[in-house]
Amino acid sequence: MSTSPDTTEKRTGFTSRDEKQDNAAEVERLIRERTAELRQIEMIYASAPVGLCLLGTDTRYLHVNQRFAEMNGFSIEEHIGKSVRERVPDLADAAEELARAVVATGKPALDIEVRGETPAQPGEQRYWNESWRPVTDNQGRVIAISIAAEDITERKRAEEALRESEERFTAFMDNSPAVAFMKDEQGRYIYLNKFDESHFNRRQGDLRGKTDFELWPLYVAEQLSKNDQTVLKADSAIEVVEEMPNPKGGITYWWTCKFPFKDASAKRYVGGIGIDITDWKQAEAALQESEEKYRNLVELAPEPIVVHRQGNVVYANPPCVTFFGAERREDLVGKPVLQFVHPDDHEVFRGRNREMTEKGTTVPLRSERFVKLDGQAVDVEVVATPIMYENLPSVMVLFRDITERKRAEEAFQRYAENLGLLHRDLEISNREANLYLDILTHDIGNTENVSNLYADLLIESLDGEAAGYAKKLQRSVQKSIEILGTVSTIRRIHQAPPELKPTDLDAAVRGVMNDYPTSIFLYNGTTYQVQADDLLPVVFDNLISNAVKFGGPDVEIAIRIEENDGFVRVSVEDTGPGIPDDDKNGIFHCYS
């Protein structure tokens, strides 16, 4: 019995062969499971789409997967045991700072953006999104750092391109001379460019999320909303002119193109671009008013007016309709304009149109012949000018019936011809009369010369009263000789233009005064030299002799000379009884 405890103790200190075999199988099973798990982890680690890395606290690589190795540009083996600074120096500062923070705090650093270059793509700036997690031992000490890194370079570039695109779009829209907007299906504004802000004097932020009914008077909001709904219902673009009040209380007009569109989630919106056409509308209204006035003026014009374009009549005013013998305007409109032009004047008509086309100016007055609907040819005077009619290049022709004038011209021509014949006859008669006057003047002159000689003989042979009569007779004969001389001078003036020559005015006056030594003259003399013909002394003699003859023995004769604007005025006045008013017209205008 004493050995039993020993035997039992010995039995408990040993494992049977079956137990050992069971334990070995269990261990082997566990090893296989762990190995499978490790292989599975390794497979996941190797095939992960992101870079995975186990980094020592000294920033040396303990393990990296293939993706991480490719990011850095080295093989997996070339990473192990090397520091971050040795492999990717451009990222070393950021990596070391992150490692210190994770080790010091024991907390992960998640979704960190890292930027820099790697030997895989030298000279190219790349971006990574990384998460750093601490790996701890049983005591909670950080013994390594697990890193997951995702290359987000392309995403960053896309985001940058999108940002630049949005900035360009915003700059483009904000500097556009047009209003641009977007609304959702409920009519709420989700976008407005700055032009709207500056033009309507309101901030964009105050408009977003609001409808037209919150921003505009009711009649404006209803108009805008109706057009928006038309776009959405038809699912197509429209162009409309919308009336909007401006901040100054006036009305502006906008040409607006509205169109439907959808976003990525198929939500529907209304987009629009509006251009301020207020000036154009005002100009259009002014033009319409002007055109209306112009049309009224043309309609009421007393002269016929026709407008043609591309060879056809497009307008005729009432006098034109009447001229051509039509009952209404439609009887002329649409017909070829050459139908109303005489065939002999077709080339003239075409030439006028070519001239207007080449010069673009009004063609001056010309005479042509038009043909009425009944075939009657009428002489007309025409002026034509290029115009815009119904917004198309046209030609306006204004014409006048000159039939009566042509008849008057023909009658005048006949009168002129008859007058020419009469003038020729008068010239013949004048030459004959001059011939007779030459003969008479010559014969009378000879007779007077003989009479003057006999008067000289009588004066020498007579004494006393008889000699006085002889002297008076001689003076009468001499006066007759002077009259014949004056008649000859007048005839010379009428036969040819008077010959004007420098004349001493004082000598001409005093020469006549000397013929009347007993008369009383009031004359201060003059120094003027004038241009005159041979009749000037005759005129003075006529004036002075009449004053002496009809003024009486004590008559005083005043002669005044005045210069006036390049001419000299000579006045001969006397103190005699003068000429009765009733006789003046007969004396001074008997040959008028």
Where b means 16+ CB within 10 Å and e means fewer, 320-336 reads bbebbebeeeeebbebe
Which residue did the predictor score with more confidence, 240 or 175?
240
Q: What is the pLDDT of residues 31-83, one digit of tens each?
A: 666 556 556 556 666 667 889 999 999 999 999 999 999 999 999 999 999 99
Q: 398 with 304: CB under 8 angstroms?
A: yes
Q: What is the pLDDT of residues 464-509, one digit of tens each?
A: 787 787 778 877 777 777 777 777 766 666 665 667 899 999 999 9
Mean pLDDT of the chain: 84
CATH number at residue 126: 3.30.450.20
Question: Is residue 481 situated within a structural domain?
Answer: yes
Structural domain range at position 183 = 176-282
Distance in angstroms (rounded) separating the CA atoms of residues 519 and 557: 8
Question: Is residue 308 situated within a structural domain?
Answer: yes
Number of domains in the chain: 5
Residue with tokens 């006789």: 583
Question: Is residue 39 situated within a structural domain?
Answer: no
Asked if residue 592 has pLDDT above 60, the reply is no
Asked if residue 4 has pLDDT above 50, the reply is no
Same domain (yes/no): 408, 454: yes
Q: 197 with 203: CB under 8 angstroms?
A: yes
> Phi/psi class of residue 555: alpha, beta or left (left: φ > 0; alpha: ψ in -120 to 50)?
beta
Same domain (yes/no): 243, 146: no
Same domain (yes/no): 122, 52: yes
pLDDT band at 5 (very low <50, low <70, confident <90, very high): very low
Same domain (yes/no): 476, 527: no
Same domain (yes/no): 512, 574: yes
Judged by average pLDDT, the poorest of 320-334, 401-415, 465-479, 523-537 is: 465-479
Residue ending a domain, choose from 365, 380, 401? 401
Residue ending a domain, choose from 496, 517, 533? 496
Distance in angstroms (rounded) separating the CA atoms of residues 41 and 59: 23
Residue ending a domain, choose from 99, 118, 153? 153
pLDDT for 47 equals 64
Same domain (yes/no): 56, 114: yes
CA-atom Rg of the chain in angstroms: 64
Residue by residue, DSSP assigns 157-186 as HHHHHHHHHHHHHHHHHHT-SSEEEEEETT
Q: What is the pLDDT of residues 270-295, one digit of tens each?
A: 999 988 888 888 887 777 776 677 67
Q: 86 with 96: CB under 8 angstroms?
A: no
Same domain (yes/no): 505, 562: yes
pLDDT mean over 395-401: 91
Q: What is the pLDDT of residues 102-118, one digit of tens each?
A: 999 999 999 999 999 99
pLDDT for 448 equals 75
Question: Is residue 41 situated within a structural domain?
Answer: no
Question: Is residue 471 situated within a structural domain?
Answer: yes
Distance in angstroms (rounded) separating the CA atoms of residues 568 and 563: 4
Asked if residue 141 has pLDDT above 80, the reply is yes
Same domain (yes/no): 352, 442: no
Same domain (yes/no): 334, 414: no
